[in-house]
Amino acid sequence: MKDLKISLIVPTYNRAEYTGIFLKYIVKYHQEDLFEIIFSDDGSTEDQFAVLSEYAKDLKIPCKLVIQEHQGYRLARVRNNGVRYSEGDYLCFLDQDLLPSEGYFRYVKKYAASTRFLITRPIYTTADERVKIFTASDNAWCSELMDKRRLRLYKLAAKDYIYHIGKRLGLGDRRPKLQGGAFSLYKDQFIRVNGFDENFQGWGLEDDDLGRRLYLNRIIGLNISHKAWVYHLHHQPAPTKGLRTNRDYYKSKNYNKHSNFAKNGYNLVISEKITFLRIK
């Protein structure tokens, strides 16, 4: 198994209760596989620092909170901010409403490679199942959910593997598709394409854009959901979801081997106030 220093980057915006449960499970089941955790916040009105401080008492690795001012939905910059404050050599992105499966980061280490990024797919929970998870004293609920829904994940992984092999042979398009909620890659791969394009403001397509630029750089996606997956904690959809305000900008971009570097990306000098807090 590769000795990677994994920086886990978790974008947050309100839903502090979800942030707390996320950190609770990292502390209890995953921290030995991680180098650090960075929570990158989009200017929440809820007190993420207080919640994180409460659940970080038994944390043995560095934990940071990066906060930008809220000026609308700016997920691309939120994720880039997390990377800007990271110190590991490998980046793992997970949204605050996604709990990693048992051994998740060990499989990430196993499958990590300089020529690929990794994606994992979710098992969706119901409102009742989410309540059970929030009140559980252990993770026994995981096997129950997996027994019910594993077939879907296996089918997705098998289908995406065909795309992966095709892409390695120079065939196909940009699949398996990168989905920003749960993916990982080497930090130098992220920097090579200059991370997320911060011109994407509003919901959607910033992850599609990153995936296309990675493929142009011959970094191919691999779905490892037959071994590692995430549990999506049920919640009502955000009001902005589905309103793809970036569609025109996305369609206007000319994707070719000479345009795989985001002009307004990771290396951008940020002029606005960014608050950095060390939780642990």
The closest alpha carbon to 94, from 163, 152, 23, belongs to 23
Closest CA to 122 of 163, 180, 209, 175: 180
Q: Which residues of the chain have pLDDT under 50?
A: none
Rounded-to-integer distance, Cα 88 and Cα 108, Å? 14
CA distance 206 to 135: 34
Question: Considering the entire predicted model, what is its pTM?
Answer: 0.95
- pLDDT of 11 reads 98
Question: What local confidence, expressed as pLDDT, does residue 139 receive?
Answer: 85
What is the domain partition of the chain in residue ranges? 6-278
Cβ contact 249:199 at 8 Å: yes
What was the pLDDT predicted at 142? 84
Q: Are residues 76 and 198 in contact, defined by beta-carbon separation less than 8 angstroms?
A: yes
pLDDT of residue 149: 83
Give residue-wise pLDDT tens across range 93-136.
Answer: 999 999 999 999 999 999 999 999 999 999 999 999 999 999 98
The model's pLDDT over 48-83, given as tens digits with 9 standing for 90+, comes to: 999 999 999 999 999 999 999 999 999 999 999 999
- Enter the CATH code of domain 6-278: 3.90.550.10
Cα dihedral 77→188→192→262 (10° resolution): 0
Count of other CB atoms within 10 angstroms of residue 103: 14
Distance in angstroms (rounded) separating the CA atoms of residues 30 and 155: 26
Round to whole Å and give the CA distance between 81 and 196: 10
Give the pairing type, strands 220-223 and 274-278.
unpaired
Contact call for residues 228 and 272 (beta carbons, < 8 A)? no
DSSP state of 277: E
